[in-house]
Amino acid sequence: MEVVTRGERRRIWSEEDKVRIVQEAMVPGAVAADVARRWGVGTGQLYTWRRELLDRTAHAAATAAIPAPSFAQVTLAEPAAAPSSPSLPSRAGLMEIVLPSGAVVRVDAAVDGDALRRVLGALAAR
Q: What is the 3-state secondary structure (H, E, C) of the chain?
A: CCCCCCCCCCCCCCHHHHHHHHHHHCCCCCCHHHHHHHHCCCHHHHHHHHHHHHHHHHHHHHHHHCCCCCCCCCCCCCCCCCCCCCCCCCCCCCEEEECCCCCEEEECCCCCHHHHHHHHHHHHHC
pLDDT of residue 114: 92
Instruction: Give, to the nearest 10 degrees, the angle between helix 32-39 and helix 43-65.
Output: 110
pLDDT < 50 regions, the chain: none
Domain spans in the chain, listed from the N-terminal domain onward: 15-65, 95-125
pLDDT of residue 16: 92
Residues 124, 26: Cα–Cα separation, whole Å? 66
pLDDT of residue 4: 60
Is the pTM for the entire model greater than 0.85? no
At 32, phi and psi to the nearest 5?
Answer: -55, -40
